[in-house]
Structure 1
Amino acid sequence: MQQLTIGTRGSVLALWQANHIKDCLQTQYPTLQVEIQIVKTKGDKILDVPLAKIGGKGLFTKELEELLLNGTIDLAVHSLKDVPVDFVEGLGLVAITKREDVRDSFLSFKYPSLESLPKGARVGTTSLRRTMQLNALRGDLDTQSLRGNVQTRLKRLKDGEFDAIILAQAGVNRLGLGEKVPYIVPLDFMIPAMGQAALGVECKMGSEAQLLLAFLNDSKATFETACERAFVRALNGGCQVPIGVNASLEEGVLKVRSILGLPDGTRILRECLEVQVKSVEDCERIGVQMAQSFIKQGAQEILQMAQNWEFQPE
């Protein structure tokens, strides 16, 4: 194979991710020609509506998957947290990259920390998961939907539309935002989304590209995200629901934290466990078991309430 075409969304962060994979490929295969093709997804086109209201599954992947199937592109690079847990027939994840910092982060031009925000401060986030955890800790804050790419969100923050915003620390690090925003504080209390801080590389299964891309896979990230994605799949949850789950593998021990609840933080389920694991299958089994525990505690009812909540007229 002499040439590969990478499909990606067109935001600065998505292009950083695609170019990172391009650089890895060209280092591994010096004679390989690698091109990048920008694709606009549904999630990129509809910016005036909260993500959960336009359907959480496949918002940032569907158009890319169509191009994979018809052969226009050879691989697609995604933020793994945006990738649905089920794939179109014939496609799949061929690699999950080493993770960046998995935490969410507080950003502000005026306030040094979440704790320093005054009552009623406006905090922007795209995520019901983040909204739930913010409201559980600081129910006095005014959490508001904030769509758009990172640059758009930062501009609205700088212009004073928000007192603070919440972004993934991985994106903050990858784009070097530490030099642009005076107050950036990782939020250790907040449980991330499944797959956060990893990149997912998708292609046609059985293709020549699949063999070329295998070297990108990070075994630690694969173990961790297998648990996280199994947890969400067992709950029948998507990318845009108030569910957080994070697995961390150290010396054969998988530590898992999970949370699920209503966006206003009034009803929340939490769990944390540590288990010895030896395989990806072990990790998936732990994710399913944790989800089953949540289901016994009323998780499905809570998720249905959260969905109906989000679709109420504003």
Structure 2
Amino acid sequence: MPSPQFRIGTRGSPLALWQANAVRNGLVAALGGDPAAVEIVSIRTSGDAIQDRPLSEAGGKGLFVKEIDEALLDGRVDLAVHSAKDLPTALAPGTALAATLPRADVRDALIGGAAPRLADLPRGAVVGTASLRRGALVRRRRPDISVVTFRGNVQTRLDKLARGEVHATLLALAGLTRLGLQEHATEILDEDDFLPALGQGAVAVTAREGDDRTHHALASLDCAATAAALLCERAFLAVLDGSCRTPIAGLARVADGALSFRGLVLSIDGAREVEGVISGSATDAAALGAEAGRDVKARTPADLLAAFG
């Protein structure tokens, strides 16, 4: 049997495999339709192995890509597929973004066990989430609510909720929809009031720098509007040195060549926030995101800024 032309590295969760298969299907079509031309290689990451504590205490979201980057750089795989929001601010040296699939719905979904809406949860309810951003935004709207760390893949979290470990949890609507689990969402949270994670809803593909064969093969999969939005959002994050220790939210929208961006830095308790808004040409996406980041950083109180370490 001939060797595949391309090997895709990915985490092994159902959602990660859905994303990898979406890239594989597009790549197979671009190569002429031979399914054997592209192979998926599942790689267990440190982020998958650590389930007993927040990632902020274990080394940050880069733990979801470390082992996959190693496989990419040593040639065991030719490209890697990630949820864009899981990518660290700085990519591993020798790797580069090669394609971004069209973005899905960016909104968060509440999955309520005790009540269907965030506003209707009982006073003192416990909400489980692995995201400091979601926790801060929940506390901003409901200071009485207790937020606890809630790790695991989508189905694991749904199972924990069904067992009554928490009163509600929050997940990306895009992930639920991709897995056919959107019926579990009891409230879709408005993106303007509950600003998403930078990169949420986007699937990013990385490859080795200088690997022209792989970059050329992936070119037909790239969505220019999503790529520009992601450039802007990641530039904002880079200026703020955002990590899993910092509640940061933001969303860039691209239409007819124009880009608008809104970013937000919050305190852990959601009581304080600093917002940045900017717009311009989508061709200046990275510069706009960086400018917004500098503006927000300059206006962020010193004690809140200290959380950026």
Query: TM-score, with normalisation over the residues of structure 2?
Result: 0.93
Residue 6 (structure 1) aligns with: 8
Q: 2:232 aligns with which of 224, 227, 236?
A: 227
Where does 1:284-299 land on structure 2 (aligned, <5 Å)? 284-298=286-300
- Whether the 8 Å CA contact 1:56–1:241 is kept in 2: the answer is no
Cα separation, partners in 2 of 1:135 and 1:178, compared to 1, 3 Å: same
User: Secondary structure of 1:193's partner?
Assistant: coil
Cα separation, partners in 2 of 1:143 and 1:34, compared to 1, 3 Å: same
Residue 243 (structure 2) aligns with: 238
1:24 is matched by which residue type in structure 2?
Answer: G
Alignment of 1:185 onto 2:188:
yes
Distance (Å, rounded) in 2 between the aligned partners of 1:152 and 1:64: 23
Residue 135 (structure 1) aligns with: 139
Alignment of 1:99 onto 2:103:
yes
Unpaired stretches in structure 1, ≥5 consecutive residues: 308-314
| Structure 1 stretch displaced more, 210-219 or 253-262 | 253-262
Where does 1:53-64 land on structure 2 (aligned, <5 Å)? 53-64=57-68
Distance (Å, rounded) in 2 between the aligned partners of 1:62 and 1:220: 27
How far residue 216 of structure 1 moved from its aligned partner, in angstroms, is 1.1
Residue 91 (structure 2) aligns with: 87
Alignment of 1:153 onto 2:157:
yes
Q: 2:126 aligns with which of 115, 122, 125?
A: 122
- Whether the 8 Å CA contact 2:229–2:259 is kept in 1: the answer is yes
1:154 is matched by which residue type in structure 2?
Answer: L
Residue 39 (structure 1) aligns with: 43
How far residue 293 of structure 1 moved from its aligned partner, in angstroms, is 1.1
Residue 310 (structure 1) aligns with: none
Dislocated runs of 4+, deviation >4 Å: none
Distance (Å, rounded) in 2 between the aligned partners of 1:239 and 1:16: 24
Distance (Å, rounded) in 2 between the aligned partners of 1:191 and 1:15: 26
Alignment of 1:216 onto 2:221:
yes
2:149 is matched by which residue type in structure 1?
Answer: S
Q: Give me the identity figure in percent.
A: 40
Q: Report the aligned-residue RMSD.
A: 1.8
1:53-76: CA deviation from partner (whole Å, max 9, x where unpaired): 112141111100100111001111
1:16-52: CA deviation from partner (whole Å, max 9, x where unpaired): 1111111111122213611111111111001010111
Distance (Å, rounded) in 1 between the aligned partners of 2:104 and 2:297: 31
User: Secondary structure of 2:63's partner?
Assistant: coil
User: Secondary structure of 1:81's partner?
Assistant: helix
How far residue 300 of structure 1 moved from its aligned partner, in angstroms, is 6.1
Cα separation, partners in 2 of 1:253 and 1:300, compared to 1, 3 Å: farther
- Whether the 8 Å CA contact 1:244–1:259 is kept in 2: the answer is yes
Residue 19 (structure 1) aligns with: 21
- Whether the 8 Å CA contact 1:83–1:239 is kept in 2: the answer is no
1:244-288: CA deviation from partner (whole Å, max 9, x where unpaired): 111111223322111112111122112334x23051xx1111111
Residue 80 (structure 2) aligns with: 76
- Whether the 8 Å CA contact 1:128–1:241 is kept in 2: the answer is yes
- Whether the 8 Å CA contact 1:178–1:184 is kept in 2: the answer is no
How far residue 187 of structure 1 moved from its aligned partner, in angstroms, is 3.6
- Whether the 8 Å CA contact 1:169–1:186 is kept in 2: the answer is no
Residue 267 (structure 1) aligns with: 272
User: Secondary structure of 1:58's partner?
Assistant: helix
1:191-220: CA deviation from partner (whole Å, max 9, x where unpaired): 111111111101112212121111111000
Count the aligned residue pairs. Answer: 303
- Whether the 8 Å CA contact 2:9–2:80 is kept in 1: the answer is yes
Distance (Å, rounded) in 2 between the aligned partners of 1:34 and 1:199: 18
Distance (Å, rounded) in 2 between the aligned partners of 1:238 and 1:182: 27
How far residue 2 of structure 1 moved from its aligned partner, in angstroms, is 5.1
Unpaired stretches in structure 2, ≥5 consecutive residues: none
